[in-house]
Amino acid sequence: MGSTRVARHLAAPRARVYRALVDGDAVARWRFPAGMTCRVHAFEGRQGGTLRISLTYDAPGPVGKTTAHTDTYTGRFVRLVPDELVVEVDEFETAEPGLRGAMTTTITLTDADGGTDLVAVHEGLPPGVSPADNEVGWREALTRLAALVETPA
Calculated CA dihedral for residues 115, 27, 131, 35, nearest 10 degrees? -110
Query: Element (H or E) spanning 53, and its range?
Result: strand 50-57
Number of H helices and E strands in the chain, helices first, is 3, 7
CA–CA separation, 72 and 66 (whole Å):
6
Q: How do the domains of the chain map onto residue ranges?
A: 2-149
Contacts of 21 (CB under 8 A, 6+ apart): 27, 86, 107
pTM value is 0.93
Cβ pair 139, 126 in contact under 8 A: no
- Position 48 scores a pLDDT of 97
- Position 151 scores a pLDDT of 81
| Dihedral of alpha carbons 20, 38, 62, 123, sign | positive
Q: Determine what percent of the chain is predicted with pLDDT higher than 90.
A: 88
pLDDT per position as a tens digit, 25-66: 999 999 999 999 999 999 999 999 999 999 998 887 667 787
Per CATH, domain 2-149 is 1.10.3210.10: no
Q: How many residues does the structure list for the chain?
A: 153
